[in-house]
């Protein structure tokens, strides 16, 4: 395909998958249960943090998280009592267990109380053309209070070579805004133009088949290569193509 043909093909797939019906089978349905900005932020962050493995299991366990927080995630983050955290101990999603959950609650409270919230933190640490340095700083700050060493593995660091798929997906949810009703677009202090595609096994495979990616590993270098390719297709909203790449890979077996 020529560049024009490739763009037309992918734009058609974006139009098809960037649709409310997409929400029904995707973890993004969890933050769509809420209406208050901070509830959307917290539920989205926690959901994205366990978004690996079987999607049905991700959704089931993210719903359990919300239930354990009394269906008021932000209020729980800010106002929980120490004894309430004990009820989180039985939680488990793959290698993310109750101790990790408790640490995330404490670290999120720290972010909101000491750094004016998640959006404010990212806004203050992005560069003019990338969110990746902000992700690295976020991990540092997220764990600057007392924490279990084991929990650090649940937030990726692009500066250590990670594609940081889950947190890039979270940023897409919060920043992208269009008329489809899938992504929230509640962070208007960050431009969608600097977002990075959530690179995983599905989007990576499709991107390679389409000639958008040559790097054989799904790492930070591959993400930079894919970002450059997608920004040539749409400089203002490159990560909309995540819908196309993911949809082609998961639903069409491309």
Q: Tell me the mean pLDDT in the region 155-159.
A: 97
pLDDT in the model for residue 94: 96
Percent residues over pLDDT 90 in the chain: 97
Residue 253 has pLDDT above 90, yes or no: no
> What average pLDDT is seen over the chain?
97
Percent residues over pLDDT 70 in the chain: 100
Q: 187 is written with which tokens? A: 């962070």
Report the C-alpha gap between 88 and 102 in whole angstroms.
7
Beta bridge partners of 161: none
Report the C-alpha gap between 9 and 231 in whole angstroms.
16
CB 47 within 8 A of CB 184: no
pLDDT tens profile 198-243: 999 999 999 999 999 999 999 999 999 999 999 999 999 999 999 9
End-to-end CA distance of the chain: 15
Instruction: Please give the residue range of the domain that contains residue 153.
Output: 3-250
Residue 146 has pLDDT above 90, yes or no: no
Report the C-alpha gap between 159 and 114 in whole angstroms.
24
Q: Tell me the mean pLDDT in the region 145-156.
A: 93
Q: Tell me the mean pLDDT in the region 125-146.
A: 96
Q: 75 is written with which tokens? A: 């209020």
Cα atoms in the Cβ-side hemisphere of radius 13 Å centred on 155: 24
Residue 176, class by beta-carbon neighbours within 10 Å (0-12 exposed, 13-18 middle, 19+ buried)?
Answer: buried
Q: 240 is written with which tokens? A: 């909309």
Query: Between helices 132-142 and 118-125, what is the axis angle to 10°?
Result: 130
SS3 at position 30? coil
CB 138 within 8 A of CB 125: yes
Q: Give the total number of structural domains in the chain.
A: 1
Q: 215 is written with which tokens? A: 């790097």
Higher pLDDT, 179 or 183: 183
pLDDT tens profile 160-171: 999 999 999 999
Q: Tell me the mean pLDDT in the region 33-37.
A: 98
CB 139 within 8 A of CB 179: no
Residue 1 has pLDDT above 90, yes or no: no
């Amino acid at each position: 395909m020529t560049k024009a043909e490739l763009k037309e093909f992918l734009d058609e797939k974006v139009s098809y998958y960037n649709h409310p019906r997409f929400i029904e089978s995707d973890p993004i349905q969890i933050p769509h249960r809420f209406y208050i900005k901070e509830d959307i932020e917290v539920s989205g962050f926690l959901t994205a943090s366990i978004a690996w493995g079987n999607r049905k299991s991700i959704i089931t366990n993210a719903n359990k998280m919300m239930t354990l927080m009394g269906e008021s995630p932000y209020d729980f983050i800010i106002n929980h009592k120490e004894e309430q955290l004990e009820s989180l101990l039985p939680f488990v999603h793959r290698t993310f267990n109750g101790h990790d959950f408790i640490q995330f609650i404490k670290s999120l409270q720290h972010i909101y109380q000491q750094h004016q919230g998640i959006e404010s933190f990212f806004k203050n640490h992005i560069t003019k053309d990338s969110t990746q340095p902000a992700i690295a700083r976020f991990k540092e700050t997220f764990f600057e209070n007392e924490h279990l060493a084991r929990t650090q593995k649940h937030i990726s660091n692009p500066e250590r070579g990670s594609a940081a798929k889950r947190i890039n997906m979270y940023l897409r949810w919060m920043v992208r805004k269009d008329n489809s009703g899938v992504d929230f677009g509640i962070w208007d202090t960050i431009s969608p133009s600097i977002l990075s595609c959530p690179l995983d096994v599905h989007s990576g495979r499709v991107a390679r088949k389409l000639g958008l990616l040559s790097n054989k590993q799904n790492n930070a270098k591959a993400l930079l290569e894919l970002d450059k390719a997608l920004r040539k297709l749409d400089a203002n909203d490159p990560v909309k193509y995540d819908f196309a790449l993911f949809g082609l890979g998961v639903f069409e077996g491309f």
